[in-house]
Structure 1
Amino acid sequence: MAEQTNTVAEPNTPEHTGRDFSLRAIIHNAGIGLALLGLILFFSIFTEHFLNPNNITNILTQITINLILAVGMTFVILIGGIDLSVGSVMAFAAVIAGKAITLPGFGTTEIILLACILAVTAGFACGLLNGLITSYWALPSFIITLGMLNIARGAALHVSDAQTIYSFPFAFEEFGSAQFYGVPVVFLVALALVLLAWFVLNRTVFGRLLYGIGNNEEAVRLAGHPVFWYKVAAFTICGLTAGIAAIVYMARLNIASPIAGIGFELNAIAAVIIGGTSLSGGRGSVIGTLLGAFIIGVLANGLILIGLSDFMRQMITGVVIIVAVILDYYRARYAKK
């Protein structure tokens, strides 16, 4: 009797949909890029200083933290999850690092290195805990990360005694304001994370399986892959990027505040969704996330230059997010057809 094998077709991922996926991805990202170019053209015409080199540098600096958080958020949304805790985790990681960086008796290099390690470790731990709880009990990530949002914020306030920590070494502050041929070094750090995430998602088995989990989790499980640990890893990466964002935040502002990062999780989610990653998981790219972060940053900066109030800027940004979600709905319907 011929041996019967139980095979499960691998889910549609960047590596398994061939040229059609690549073409659609290029067209999709090109559409987002055209929207970004349209915004740049609009603000270039209707504002005087938008294309000023100093303003361009300012935009790159302003989007850095959101871009770093959005890179990690992309991993979570690709598997059909969401992480509402990243802003609070960033604040907690910053406070932990801030406490360390102000300790006496250490050399400048050693204390900065220790602070960075602690910030990344704090973010890693929070993301790992989110992933373990969400995956083990198969609970909605929305609820679990909402709980972590409060835990991390409370921990940040407790560790810092609700006080802002400041007086960091000059070398740390210098890193936050450094430029390389006019490009902020902190933005280059964020760009390096984007490239690393792109490689992981598009050129590794791990990345392909994250897409697969978002498309059809059961198929990936039946194929023999440890879905539990892949989902945990996605949340852990998201927490890790929150720790990196904390370092950039501290270097830029030279403070560590326990109330930092309020609302940052919404901006990160907005960048991912505007960039075309589906809220239902399985579709999207980190390049789209990069473009989405740029759209949010350019929109915010341009509206300020036009002279709109903060309330109007929030309303317009909200409209853009809603439109992006509606477009995602129609993209999903088109994909099913």
Structure 2
Amino acid sequence: MTIQTGDEVAQASGNFSIRTVLHNAGIGLALLALILFFSIFTEHFLTANNITNILTQVTINLILAVGMTFVILIGGIDLSVGSVMAFASVIAGKAITLAGLGPFEAIVLAVIAATAVGVVCGAINGTITARWSLPSFIITLGMLNIARGAALQASNAQTIYSFPLAFEDFGSAMFYGVPVVFMVALALVFIAWFILNFTVFGRLLYGIGNNEEAVRLAGHSVYRYKIAAFTICGLTAGIAAVVYMARLNISSPIAGIGFELNAIAAVIIGGTSLNGGRGSVIGTLIGAFIIGVLANGLILIGLSDFMRQMITGVVIIIAVILDYYRAKYTRR
């Protein structure tokens, strides 16, 4: 059985087909249009400080969206990543404040604790979903409540702070004008891109999204691959927790509320199909930037929070409608 990646599927009918242009360039052109619009109508949009702000603001959503891409590619969804991120940050925060460690040891412990929490929660989501063939929407909705309740219980509904200064230094560090935390997110994008395009594991994820039964008949364990996809999503939630702690120098049990919706929006706007089997993490990167640029530009224009939410919602709905027509055109 030959399994194609999303890019290969898009190019199957010719190098210069309309489908190829729409798939590879459409969302990129949309991002460029947004940048051009806000550059014209806002005075400070293209300043160095604002570009740095956009990169920093995009970081957590991009990290979560990278993991979400793996789940949506197999036709699933994970509503728990925001709550898992909060739970992971609380556990990591309590670990480093109680241990009384030095700065380096505290950071290492935080990374281990947060990613471990994320991996366990993701693996539970994947195991239950795959073992009983249950809708991931319902299972991860349950995990959303479990993780949020666990975060509130573990922290006694209190914010944890007074982390080592090294955390704050990492969260605000710059490398030639680029936030280091954004470079972490970009590294995850590259790793995910390589996995999805150049490994058997990645191609089988596309295969599961396209035709799960065909992958099973080819002798592959769909069960294990589904668990792996959700585990990766949990892992990125743990990494996002560390970045959140570094940026704000706190752990909060109410962090990440609504973050799962932004991550899903970035993936869908980026061209990954909700039905699975088609999409790319590069599209997710662009989708995250579209959300980040839109939010930043609307603030600079002076729109209220309510108007920004409405406009962002409209963009998400348009992206889903476009996905419908893109899938319909592909079937032809």
Normalising by structure 2, we get a TM-score of 0.96
Deviation at 1:279, TM superposition (A): 0.1
Q: 1:251 to 1:57 in 2, by over 3 A?
A: same
Moved more, 97-106 or 40-49: 97-106
Aligned to 2:67: 72
Aligned to 2:246: 251
What is the letter of the counterpart of residue 58 of structure 1? N
Aligned to 1:285: 280
- Give yes or no for contact 1:82–1:141 (8 Å, CA) kept in 2: yes
Deviation at 1:109, TM superposition (A): 1.2
Aligned to 1:227: 222
What is the letter of the counterpart of residue 10 of structure 1? T
- Give yes or no for contact 1:50–1:305 (8 Å, CA) kept in 2: yes
Q: Which runs of 5+ in 1 are unaligned?
A: 1-8
In 2: Cα distance, 1:63 partner to 1:156 partner: 24
Aligned to 2:106: 111
- Give yes or no for contact 1:10–1:220 (8 Å, CA) kept in 2: no
Aligned to 1:309: 304
Aligned to 1:90: 85
Aligned to 1:186: 181
CA offsets per residue over residues 286-328 of structure 1, 9 Å max, x none? 0000000000000000000000000000000000000000000
What is the letter of the counterpart of residue 81 of structure 2? V
Aligned to 1:273: 268
Normalising by structure 1, we get a TM-score of 0.95
Of residues 57, 62, 76, the one that matches 2:57 is: 62
Aligned to 1:5: none
Note if 1:13 corresponds to 2:5: yes
Q: Greater Rg, structure 1 or structure 2?
A: 1
Deviation at 1:30, TM superposition (A): 1.3
Q: 1:170 to 1:311 in 2, by over 3 A?
A: same
Q: 1:95-244 to 2 correspondence within 5 Å?
A: 95-244=90-239
In 2: Cα distance, 1:104 partner to 1:28 partner: 50
Moved more, 293-302 or 104-113: 104-113
Deviation at 1:105, TM superposition (A): 3.5
In 1: Cα distance, 2:138 partner to 2:306 partner: 28
Q: 1:45 to 1:238 in 2, by over 3 A?
A: same
Q: 1:101 to 1:21 in 2, by over 3 A?
A: farther
CA offsets per residue over residues 219-274 of structure 1, 9 Å max, x none? 00000001100000000000000000000000000000000000000000000000
CA offsets per residue over residues 148-180 of structure 1, 9 Å max, x none? 000000000000000000011001110000000
Counting aligned pairs with the same residue, the percent is 80
Moved more, 237-246 or 15-24: 15-24
User: Deviating runs (4+, > 4 A) in structure 1?
Assistant: 14-19, 21-27
Q: Which runs of 5+ in 2 are unaligned?
A: none
Deviation at 1:21, TM superposition (A): 7.4
- Give yes or no for contact 1:14–1:208 (8 Å, CA) kept in 2: no
- Give yes or no for contact 1:36–1:295 (8 Å, CA) kept in 2: yes
